[in-house]
Structure 1
């Protein structure tokens, strides 16, 4: 069956529906975003009247039952096959949050690079040129390989990246060749729950904003622990829901409903907390476990992404990318809402496998 394409009328309705969300979640300092959104809404009023049902289709489509593992794999691969080029065109090769300390910084590309370096520093990875720097790295959920190539340059390391998206693997290898890193960086299609690597192959296992896609968190942690070498380090950075309070057995119905909407848009299974990850690592004998919540460091990122989505280039790109990408764009506001209400956390976790 051919993939549904986004019509200009549908896109206009979606963009007009976005605008109130921007006003609701953006602070007064983001007046330019609000003004742009209001202007766009004014221009599209007549279109909106005729295609209100299309906008409702986008909203309604983020509600669904949980998908099974194979459906998730197919959905994730297709979503990133269709959306990765648009992301690269607008934001470059790094498909993850930026590090906003101080929070008023405006160089968003550098903020993404800094997020890699600050995460390595936080995890205790030595600086380049110092003893103990990583030499063999796996990037689990590599996108188009931005982190892998940065780490390869930084440490002179050999890196291997895996993704479910054929487009991302191909593009990662193309960029490695263009940047003179083909001998250090390799990207392939593979499942993080069944990695095609030997036991204890890597001294750094890097998983940056991919854990949220894993339908079996226990198997995911098993694989991270399997491929890391004795004395090697795991760095896991992932979206999590908040830790449960004492006496709580689950999230609230309101919280679960919001996460279900996000799951539909981004092909996610059920969420877990940082506490859940820590328990899994402890059960597998990991040592030196360290955790943190870096939500405050990435707070300006979603507003910057939302602002960029209102540009003409983004609008045209969304039209070309199809309905699932438009749905993902709408879900940005749901993510921002989750961050603002303290439900969604930017979880930082690191640990080591014990020395033999």
Structure 2
């Protein structure tokens, strides 16, 4: 069985799936550093034979039509500027009758485009996480259908848990295991980054980037509390057996 991980990063999910399955998994990524890191981690896990890495753009993938038996994307295709084109490309390389599963970052139905606070939260998440115009769950689902997929299942998985998904980012909650994300941990990290940048051990602009990421984390927490944002919108789409 041939599986494609779209936007695999350094391959965490890829390796976990390979450990309990007999699949051959290909990870697609457009970042050379992440690919080299993933290859080394695959080697250390003794998974180099079953886990392959390919450098490429998920908007124009270097694979023939009908190549893969299954495709998944985890918090990756939300970075596509054109979701319909992205999903169409995924549909192209997927074998007929097979499925594409994804977790997407989306706005929920609670998002009010006329609400200034909502707009600011959205803008801060987009800037800090490198996202284009964040889509709503409805827009995401419509894009999947327009790309030619039949929807098998869809839903916001954040609603299935009593524990808020944004809890690890909440600076109001003290945690030893996630100390860096606490208010004290942030101050220490901020001071260290500034010092390293000052002495030349960190690139110029590191403090500015760190500030943007902190603002992003705060926006994610606020988006979660306001229930206007979810990083856990899941869908399963099936490619029809024929175009007719």
TM-score, length-scaled by structure 1? 0.56
* Distance change >3 Å, CA 341–CA 306, structure 1 → 2: farther
**Which residue in the other structure is 2:5 paired with?**
139
State how far apart, in whole Å, the 2-side matches of 1:158 and 1:251 are. Answer: 47
Q: CA deviation at 1:325?
A: 4.2
1:283 pairs with 135, 139, 146, which one?
146
Which residue does 1:259 correspond to in 2?
122
Q: 1:227 to 1:252 in 2, by over 3 A?
A: farther
3-state SS of the aligned residue for 1:224? Answer: helix
Matched, 1:294 2:161: no
Conserved 8 A contact 1:278-1:289: no
CA contact (8 A) 2:166 2:220 kept: no
Cα distance in structure 2, aligned partners of 1:196 and 1:285: 20
Other-structure match for 2:180:
308
Residue 253 to residue 172, structure 1, CA distance change in 2 (3 Å): same
Where does structure 1 lack aligned partners over 5 or more consecutive residues? 1-134
- Deviations 1:115-149, CA, capped at 9 Å, x for gaps: xxxxxxxxxxxxxxxxxxxx211111111001111
* 8 Å Cα contact 1:306-1:332 kept in structure 2: no
TM-score, normalised by the number of residues in structure 2? 0.79
* Deviations, residues 11-63 of structure 1 (Å, cap 9, x unaligned): xxxxxxxxxxxxxxxxxxxxxxxxxxxxxxxxxxxxxxxxxxxxxxxxxxxxx
Give the superposition deviation at 1:241. Answer: 0.6
* Equivalent in 163, 170, 174 of residue 36 of structure 2: 170
What is the root-mean-square deviation in Å for CA atoms of aligned residues? 2.6
1:223: which partner in 2?
A: 89
Match of 2:103 among 237, 243, 265: 237
Moved over 4 A (4+): 311-321
Aligned equivalents of 2:29 and 2:114: distance in 1? 30
Report what 2:55 is aligned to.
189
d(CA) in 1 for partners of 2:213 and 2:36? 22
Alignment-derived partner of residue 154 in structure 1: 20
The structure whose residues are more often strand, as a share, is: 2
Instruction: Count the aligned residue pairs.
Output: 219
User: Structure 2 unaligned runs (5+)?
Assistant: 197-201
